[in-house]
Amino acid sequence: MSINDWGCLGFWLLRTNSPDFLGVPGANGETIRRPHRIFAIDTRTGKVLRVSLMPDGGFGNDMALDADGGVYLTDSSRPRIYYLAPGATQLQIWTEDTRWATKEIGLSGIARRPDGVMVVGLFYSGELFKVVQEPQGRVKVEAIPLTRKLENPDGMQFAPDGRLLVTEGAIASGNGRLLRIDVLSPGTQPKSVETIATDMESPVNLTVAGRNVWVTEARIRHRLLPGREKDIPNRFFIRRFTLPADMTTGLMSL
């Protein structure tokens, strides 16, 4: 799930989504799910400016923005990344790849560098992929080799030095983590996975401002693991971390 915002036309425009992938219990014990949507909201007034439905009943998950205010959106139920152009009301398929197809939660987090290079993660398989639109318009997708599979990667953004920050939801172990990975360094060797923080329950989104990283701790394992339905949390958290000084500067390379 994602929330992104940017200054636009004199007001603050917030982009967010409502995937409702867990649903709510109905009167007869069935699970009721509302249509999956994304929103544009004026944060000064709270007014909803635009609502866009996900195509084909998709599960809109995470967002990345380009410099013009366009939105890239991962679909967790279909192997697609959508694009919503500035001012448009209809999501368009930007690219899709059979390696992202799954019967579980598929594409989750997405991060975009200012030069347009993107990284996406697969929630259940723990894989990362580099996604680049080449000059002729073709979108190239490459798997990123890692020293280990990630345990449910979710929210992600690039740090100022070009390394990727990723939340690891850790459904099975419960030990949610904040990771950093130099995913776009030269060479084909597996990329090392470093742990910055541990002991969170279902961290999902993150945002970066300078050396500060804010992580939302969703605490949703009781909805995802059989037998844990009654372990309903009574508190939720936003965690703040400070990056080491060596992560705030540096050159980004492909």
DSSP string, the chain: --EEEEEETTEEEEEEEE---S-EE-TTS-EE-PPPEEEEEETTTTEEEEEEEPGGG--EEEEEE-TTS-EEEEETTTTEEEEE-TT--S-EEEEE-GGG--SS--EEEEEE-TTS-EEEEETTT--EEEEEE-TTSPEEEEEE-BSS--SSEEEEEE-TTSPEEEEE--TTT--EEEEEE-TTSSSSSPBPEEEEEEEESSEEEEEEETTEEEEEE---HHHHSTT-TT---S--EEEEEE--GGGSS-----
- Which has more pLDDT, 119 or 251? 119
Q: What is the pTM of this model?
A: 0.85
pLDDT at residue 251 above 50?
A: no
Residue 8 within a domain: no
Residue 253 within a domain: no
- Can you give the pLDDT at residue 176? 95
What pLDDT, in 10s, does the model give residues 140-158?
999 999 999 999 999 999 9
Spatial CA neighbour of 62 closest among 170, 216, 184: 216
Q: Do 121 and 153 meet the contact criterion of CB atoms below 8 Å apart? A: yes
Residue 137 within a domain: yes
pLDDT at residue 3 above 60?
A: no
- Can you give the pLDDT at residue 140? 96
- Which residues lie across from 226 on neighbouring strands? none
- Looking at the structure of the chain, the number of domains it has is 1
Q: Do 63 and 56 meet the contact criterion of CB atoms below 8 Å apart? A: no
pLDDT band with cut points at 50, 70 and 90 for residue 12: low
Residue 45 within a domain: no
Domain range enclosing 127: 56-247
Token pair for 10: 């004199």
- CATH number of the domain residue 168 falls in: 2.130.10.10
Residue 138 within a domain: yes
Q: Do 143 and 99 meet the contact criterion of CB atoms below 8 Å apart? A: yes
How large a percentage of the chain has pLDDT more than 70? Answer: 89
Residue 44 within a domain: no
Phi, psi of 224, rounded to the nearest 5 degrees: -110, -20
- Can you give the pLDDT at residue 180? 95
Residue 12 within a domain: no
pLDDT band with cut points at 50, 70 and 90 for residue 135: confident
Token pair for 98: 């059979």
What is the side-by-side order of every strand in the sheet holding 153-158?
153-158, 164-168, 176-181, 193-200
Residue 254 within a domain: no
- The mean pLDDT of 34-40, rounded to a whole number, is 80
- Which residues lie across from 189 on neighbouring strands? none
